[in-house]
Chain A
């Protein structure tokens, strides 16, 4: 009876002391963007497999962590941090030592990633970004808008083009107008007098055609203007 008890006690100790390992590591707080990274005391380092879950907290030095009482097996190591995004590591704990690999989500467990040094070293990728920012009023952005550009171009056409035409030599102008009259319908050639209604009605606006009285007077005007 006593012997059995001794054996059980011995087995108990084996189970609880021999197969338990401890892992050491630290969160890399070297300077990023000119500022050293700090880790809040709520930063948790989690070591997990289906069989076991171990949670460790950042030590008083603000970066190191220790897992005690870890049994042999293959674990995922992740960091729960509000402020930073950390890589995920695969930790294989066996009798002959600890192996650390960089892993990523969706990686088949049979494939080990690149080997990492031990003690475990975790450097945050980036600060965690939870927000999106509204775009304020931006003049440059406004001018990138194609609608605005089209509008501006139209304005230029309306105001600047007639002035340009005026500055031309009357002979030259006549030449151009004659050329235009040959190639395009006069209504389009002279946008200021363009009669939309008659254009849509399928009639070619010109001095010879007479639709409504308004179009008549307009075309008369245009006809006369040509005489200059």
Chain B
């Protein structure tokens, strides 16, 4: 009876399943880093007010020039392939993005955006191929790969004229000026020439065709607008001392040859009132500029700078020279370069990839993914690290507990040393520790008075955890081969950074070793580095000994077997190299998803033997797969029902869930496989539902359940969220694994699987499950959404035992079940990312805090987002609203009350005994 009352109370207490973030915890427990991705110089516009870029991650963004924050950004669908996307300035307040559409590269999307606000001004779709060249002169001229030139009104984007190149001419680029439009083409892939179109009145008309070079071998055309006429340059392959240049006039073109003073590797051309400036990078890596002027049909060299290792960039007749310690600007005149300013700066140590300059500021890109805006007046304005936008792998690193770092080794020493020596050591240690006593006392009283553990903030430079384990490092491995550690307690500030960890090998995965600070970084070509996870120091770096020639590491496998941790690299040739601990003596079973097949292997006696293969039904393709996190703990073997009977959970640690889609029939399927024996445990098919196969199926595996989601059109359009709960039997209290652990090798009964499906309002891009320290706390399902938000749903809400079409009985209520409702997650309070615009997250990882109630959640992809969630409420933590003053006041009031009433009571009792009441 008592238990029943208690469980009823619990059921009632948790009946409200919508649990939102407290307003006072927003921006305190969570943080968000908005990224834009890698910047290409060709798609970056630097102006005095803003830096506008269209990044490799398809983000169109405008950055503040003062502090580098994102003024606005849009994650677009348009492809960021450099040949198919162009970002140019439309006018002083707007930018124009011309890019091929993702669905069809033959269609080009043109959009004009306000640079200040990020609002769309106009957009247009053009058919006829991907954009080859864009030029703005009065109107917008776009050359498409299909040989069509479209002229768009600058103010409305409507097509005001178009022109098609004659057959046989392939488009190269377009240069427009006020009077004429030059379309650079190649004829039959041989002759280089251009069409001059007159476009003054609107309609484009074929005027003349001018051949520049009959037989140019390679056409990597560089164009320059301005000066007296537009200029193009091209190269002759094999000759590193020749650059061909021609001015494009309306009547004829005389190709001229420029001979740089040293062999070049690359060059760029700019044009200004003073002439043509060629910025040349030599084959020795040094750069210089050469300034030419046109006079009487000839190019005359008027000035050249000395070759330098600094980065050079030319903008509007100004040459910017950026070295590690200074930024200088030079005015390019007809007599040469004249120093205009020189400012001392301190740039990051990584090597410079490019410099793109505006009127007085330069955006400098570094190899490690950092970007710096340096101005000639104030020096470095800001630094942005965009390497964290392209993450290969991420993990949480636990920090040391307070005092642990200093004393653990010393205590061990004292335990093993001779008594006298140990005693002296201890006294000395305590004497040293005494120095920290005042600080400790101050902190103690601060905490005591405020009742808040955060009253004494953790030193951001330390590697010590806070009281509740909310402070951890998140280590990110980036596509640029670098590692970044973020401090979760300090809004994601960098704890340490290491560039090029694997010495120009690309990182495939990072795995944590036995110790907290052990981090293994594995590269594609078999480079393995062992890094201290707390400091970022690279301890050792080595190559896998017997790594096959031309082989490539595909993934890193980590598992614990008989208390020993093994880390192994799986290669494309099907090899398994053990990186930590020698290869295990016992047989180890595991499975791999290779292309479209799930294959099982056994590693036995230093040999890898294939055991089974799971082939999908024909025309199905694997969309995703998932297994239970090895650190996920199970507290209870069964699920207690309202009538005190038990349904035993099917707890098989070897479940591999594989989701597949069929493009032709628009169906999806999910298979649950035992990855030791390859036995199919359960499968579910979603046919005739018109599944969005491109979006695929998202999966997550918990202790005895699988949750997956997919978008489909039938019968009701929306994102379907499906839960499959696995039990040993559908009969209560029945359990066949009663006496011993069951083995994958024996023919055990198949799990009893119960399923339910729900409709979720938004598109889900990935799923994850929370993991608490001891597994007692309920689980939450964490979903990243394509609305740039992150939702958290209680697993209790996704329960296949929810009664359908009837109210739950008393027993079911006790179990915590609520009536089935197909619609789930309608309430915005499920969104934990609240007002953050968390763009492009693809994966979520979780880690438990020291407190059982709290789980740390980190999502990455493009943006980074961190928060703490408490799936069963913060039951082991006093809430922020807990009023310490009120409690003390109540105690005080009670004391006063007792003080006053006790004489009264005493007198009364005495009177009573004497029989003289009153």
Residues of A within 8 A of B (CB): 12-13, 16-17, 20, 41-42, 49-50, 52-53, 55-60, 62, 66, 68-69, 76, 80, 82-83, 85, 105-109, 128-137, 166, 193, 217-218, 220-221, 224-225
A130-B21, A131-B20 given; A68·B124 CB < 8 A: yes
CB < 8 Å: which of B114, B121, B835 contacts A82? B835
Whether, in the assembled complex, B761 has its beta carbon less than 8 Å from a beta carbon of chain A, the answer is yes
Apart from A69-B101, A107-B716, A131-B23: 20 A-B pairs, beta carbons within 8 A: A41-B118, A41-B120, A42-B74, A50-B690, A50-B711, A52-B103, A59-B120, A59-B121, A60-B119, A68-B123, A80-B787, A106-B759, A106-B822, A130-B828, A131-B834, A134-B22, A135-B881, A166-B918, A193-B912, A218-B912
CB proximity to A under 8 Å, residues B687-732: 690-692, 711-718
10 closest A-B pairs by CB: A41-B118, A16-B127, A130-B834, A131-B23, A69-B125, A134-B881, A132-B20, A80-B787, A60-B119, A57-B120
Interface string of B9-31 (1 = CB under 8 A from A): 00000000001111110100000
CB proximity to A under 8 Å, residues B904-918: 912-913, 915, 917-918
C-alpha gap A187/B698 in the complex (Å): 71
C-alpha gap A217/B666 in the complex (Å): 91
Contact count A vs B, C-beta below 8 Å: 134
Residues of B within 8 A of A221 (CB): 912-913, 915, 917
Whether, in the assembled complex, B206 has its beta carbon less than 8 Å from a beta carbon of chain A, the answer is no
A69-B125, A105-B759, A134-B881 given; A16·B829 CB < 8 A: no
CB < 8 Å: which of B24, B712, B913 contacts A134? B24
C-alpha gap A199/B913 in the complex (Å): 20
Q: Could you tell me the distance in whole angstroms from the C-beta of B370 to the nearest C-beta in chain A?
A: 26
Residues of B within 8 A of A (CB): 19-24, 26, 72-74, 76-77, 101, 103, 106-107, 114, 117-125, 127, 666, 690-692, 711-718, 759, 761, 786-789, 822-823, 826, 828-829, 831, 834-835, 837, 879-881, 883, 886, 912-913, 915, 917-918
Q: Could you tell me the distance in whole angstroms from the C-beta of B82 to the nearest C-beta in chain A?
A: 22
Q: Could you tell me the distance in whole angstroms from the C-beta of A85 to the nearest C-beta in chain B?
A: 7
Q: Are B714 and A130 in contact, CB atoms less than 8 angstroms apart?
A: no
C-alpha gap A28/B567 in the complex (Å): 57
A82-B837, A105-B823, A134-B879 given; A129·B714 CB < 8 A: no
C-alpha gap A105/B823 in the complex (Å): 7
Among residues of A, the one whose C-beta sits closest to the C-beta of B760 is: A105
Q: From DSSP, what is the main secondary structure of chain B's interface residues?
A: loop
Q: Are A55 and B77 in contact, CB atoms less than 8 angstroms apart?
A: yes
CB < 8 Å: which of B22, B72, B103, B716 contacts A132? B22
Q: Are A130 and B829 in contact, CB atoms less than 8 angstroms apart?
A: yes
Q: Are B835 and A130 in contact, CB atoms less than 8 angstroms apart?
A: yes
Q: Could you tell me the distance in whole angstroms from the C-beta of B115 to the nearest C-beta in chain A?
A: 11
Residues of A within 8 A of B114 (CB): 60
Among residues of B, the one whose C-beta sits closest to the C-beta of A225 is: B917
C-alpha gap A105/B829 in the complex (Å): 18
Q: Are B107 and A50 in contact, CB atoms less than 8 angstroms apart?
A: no
C-alpha gap A107/B789 in the complex (Å): 24
Q: From DSSP, what is the main secondary structure of chain A's interface residues?
A: mixed
C-alpha gap A193/B117 in the complex (Å): 81
CB < 8 Å: which of A12, A20, A131, A225 contacts B26? A131
Q: Could you tell me the distance in whole angstroms from the C-beta of B27 to the nearest C-beta in chain A?
A: 11
C-alpha gap A52/B761 in the complex (Å): 18
C-alpha gap A68/B918 in the complex (Å): 95
Among residues of B, the one whose C-beta sits closest to the C-beta of A53 is: B77
Q: Are A66 and B123 in contact, CB atoms less than 8 angstroms apart?
A: yes
Residues of B within 8 A of A217 (CB): 913
Q: Which of A53, A133, A135 has the most CB of B within 10 A?
A: A53
CB < 8 Å: which of B121, B715, B826, B831 contacts A105? B826
Among residues of A, the one whose C-beta sits closest to the C-beta of B112 is: A60
A16-B107, A41-B118, A132-B21 given; A106·B823 CB < 8 A: yes
Residues of A within 8 A of B826 (CB): 105
Q: Which of B117, B717, B915 has the most CB of A within 10 A?
A: B717
Residues of A within 8 A of B118 (CB): 41-42
Q: Are A57 and B74 in contact, CB atoms less than 8 angstroms apart?
A: yes
Q: Which of A16, A82, A108, A133 has the most CB of B within 10 A?
A: A82
Residues of B within 8 A of A57 (CB): 74, 119-120
Q: Could you tell me the distance in whole angstroms from the C-beta of A130 to the nearest C-beta in chain B?
A: 4
Residues of B within 8 A of A42 (CB): 72-74, 118, 837
Q: Could you tell me the distance in whole angstroms from the C-beta of A55 to the nearest C-beta in chain B?
A: 6
Q: Could you tell me the distance in whole angstroms from the C-beta of B99 to the nearest C-beta in chain A?
A: 13
CB < 8 Å: which of A50, A106, A128 contacts B716? A106
Residues of A within 8 A of B886 (CB): 137
Q: Which of A41, A56, A128, A225 has the most CB of B within 10 A?
A: A41
C-alpha gap A129/B880 in the complex (Å): 20
Q: Which of A52, A80, A105, A130 has the most CB of B within 10 A?
A: A130
Among residues of A, the one whose C-beta sits closest to the C-beta of B121 is: A60
C-alpha gap A185/B165 in the complex (Å): 115
Q: Could you tell me the distance in whole angstroms from the C-beta of A11 to the nearest C-beta in chain B?
A: 12
Q: Could you tell me the distance in whole angstroms from the C-beta of A138 to the nearest C-beta in chain B?
A: 12
Among residues of A, the one whose C-beta sits closest to the C-beta of B124 is: A68
CB < 8 Å: which of A50, A107, A166 contacts B692? A50
Among residues of A, the one whose C-beta sits closest to the C-beta of B787 is: A80
